[in-house]
Structure 1
Amino acid sequence: MQPEVKTPMRAPILQLSGLRVSYGQINAVKGIDLAIEPGELVSLIGANGAGKTTTLNAIAGVLPIAGGELSYAGEHIETLPAHLRLRRGLALVPEGRGIFTRLTVEENLQMGAYTRHDKAGVEADMQRIFELLPRVKERLFQVAGTLSGGEQQMLAIGRALLSRPRLLLLDEPSMGLAPLFVEKIFEVVQSIVKEGVAVLLVEQNANLALQFAQRACVMEGGLITLRGTGQELLHDPKVRSAYLGE
């Protein structure tokens, strides 16, 4: 009789243990646990003020944590500055995109690669981004502030990809965009995940977020109150009632 062969579990790229984040006396994130594996898309859904964006900003190093542990690629990074997290492959596309509106599209993309010194690699990645986001290539010499909202979101994602992330944090990528742009952005996200990049997605459009996620979590009042696969939560009556308008 052949012995049972067990598939080894992959080490998580991100591990949160009891993560807490505060604004003064206000506890915005109250001790959450979360693990994400390479090549996995995990969605965080919840109402405004639930702590989703605060969680992303704490992971990226934009906000300090008040307690708990934050491990990335096996390294504790609780006190690591944001720019050093980026150098290690942890990139954030913030809510509102955060592009440099007075720079051209090309200059914005170059800012995404400012931590890199491999010119040939940057050029190859730039061509890959043009394949993923042809609209960005079409607008290469245009001032970024004159782009549409959807084009700016594509630029923000392209800029983040030029840092060669191993973990990409996406905050509300579909906010305020026309359906055609939303569809394209989620196609790009799927392509990124297939290439082995882990994605942690915060998204108000719960239907989309759950459709595309391997796993998902519901945040309420700074806590994760529900977990499951994307499909499990998509068909959960409580989730459908609270977040899908049913």
Structure 2
Amino acid sequence: MPTEEKTPLLQLQALQVAYGGIQAVKGISLELHHGELVCLIGANGAGKTTTLNAIAGVLPIVGGSIAYEGKPIANLPAHKRLRQGIALVPEGRGIFTRLTVEENLRMGAYTRRDRAGVEADLERIYTMLPRVKERLHQVAGTLSGGEQQMVAIGRALLSRPRLLLLDEPSMGLAPLVVEKIFEVVQSVSREGVTILLVEQNANLALEFAQRAYVMESGQITLSGSGAELLADPKVRAAYLGELDEPA
């Protein structure tokens, strides 16, 4: 839940991101407070993934600012952002297909030196993701899509993030698997990790999120609590596949 802390954990102000001659993000502002689960919804090409990649340091920004714990980080390389507690689970999972599941997980802890802490966190992840534990010695590229997504989330958690960026975690997965993935996301959120979630399943995302932003053509056009946006007729028509009943 949001706290009364004055300084947001993450704050974007007038953020602009461009690549390949296209301005994908056109001056957006948003903030996340400690412990919040916030979602970003919108159509394909709205700029959601670009926003996450800019926060993680994968893409440079061309205008505006990114502040983390009140300090500017726009010029900080991605690996230093990871050390400060910002972890990205990318769209498409990004696992190392030729490595085993265990090797993939341990890659998430490459910035850490606390061996005992890493082992304890691995055991915690095995409890949270029992299917992952069953596949530890399997080559990751042979896993199902849902299992790969769980490995990707587990790998990110091994970095002990304070801010977890999740990009389309349900994409291409069966409904029962999606349900499990969101149970894991909710569990991580309850542990106090702040989460910014980009999700194609707007209905599910808004049910889980405390707050949400709607992106269209690189701009934020709506914001509010998850419940408020779920009830908004424009959101329902555009993203939830529903039309208002005629009067």
TM class by smaller structure: over 0.9
- Counterpart position of 2:209: 213
| Aligned-partner SS, 1:174 | coil
Select between 133-142 and 15-24 the one with higher mean Cα deviation: 15-24
TM superposition shift of 1:8? 3.5
- Counterpart position of 2:245: none
Aligned mate of 1:13, from 9, 20, 27: 9
- Counterpart position of 1:226: 222
Select between 9-18 and 192-201 the one with higher mean Cα deviation: 9-18
What is the aligned-residue RMSD (CA, Å)? 0.9
- Counterpart position of 1:3: none
Distance (Å, rounded) in 2 between the aligned partners of 1:148 and 1:65: 35
> Is 1:190 matched with 2:186?
yes
Structure 2 counterparts to residues 150-189 of structure 1, below 5 A = 150-189=146-185
> Is 1:35 matched with 2:31?
yes
> Is 1:98 matched with 2:114?
no
| Aligned-partner SS, 1:103 | coil
Aligned mate of 1:108, from 73, 94, 104: 104
- Counterpart position of 2:144: 148
> Is 1:203 matched with 2:199?
yes
| Aligned-partner SS, 1:35 | strand
Distance (Å, rounded) in 1 between the aligned partners of 2:83 and 2:56: 11
> Is 1:68 matched with 2:64?
yes
TM superposition shift of 1:213? 0.3
| Aligned-partner SS, 2:222 | strand
| Aligned-partner SS, 2:148 | helix
Quick one: which amino acid aligns to residue 166 of structure 2?
L
> Is 1:23 matched with 2:19?
yes
Report the identity percentage: 77
Could you state the TM-score of these two structures normalised by the residue count of structure 2? 0.95
Distance (Å, rounded) in 2 between the aligned partners of 1:202 and 1:99: 18
Greater than 3 Å deviation, 4+ residue runs = 7-10
- Counterpart position of 1:83: 79
TM superposition shift of 1:11? 2.5
Distance (Å, rounded) in 1 between the aligned partners of 2:65 and 2:182: 30
Quick one: which amino acid aligns to residue 138 of structure 2?
Q
Quick one: which amino acid aligns to residue 226 of structure 2?
G
Distance (Å, rounded) in 1 between the aligned partners of 2:112 and 2:4: 33
Unaligned runs of 5+ in 2: 243-247
Distance (Å, rounded) in 2 between the aligned partners of 1:229 and 1:145: 38
Could you state the TM-score of these two structures normalised by the residue count of structure 1? 0.96
| Aligned-partner SS, 1:211 | helix
Distance (Å, rounded) in 2 between the aligned partners of 1:9 and 1:141: 43
Distance (Å, rounded) in 1 between the aligned partners of 2:99 and 2:49: 26
Quick one: which amino acid aligns to residue 73 of structure 1?
E
TM superposition shift of 1:10? 4.7
Quick one: which amino acid aligns to residue 144 of structure 1?
A
Alignment length (residue pairs): 240
Aligned mate of 2:116, from 120, 129, 145: 120
| Aligned-partner SS, 2:35 | coil
Quick one: which amino acid aligns to residue 35 of structure 1?
E
TM superposition shift of 1:181? 1.1
Distance (Å, rounded) in 1 between the aligned partners of 2:18 and 2:106: 34
Deviations 1:16-46 (Å, cap 9, x if unpaired)? 0010001143211000111101111100000
TM superposition shift of 1:9? 3.4
Unaligned runs of 5+ in 1: 1-6
Distance (Å, rounded) in 1 between the aligned partners of 2:119 and 2:6: 31
Quick one: which amino acid aligns to residue 167 of structure 1?
L
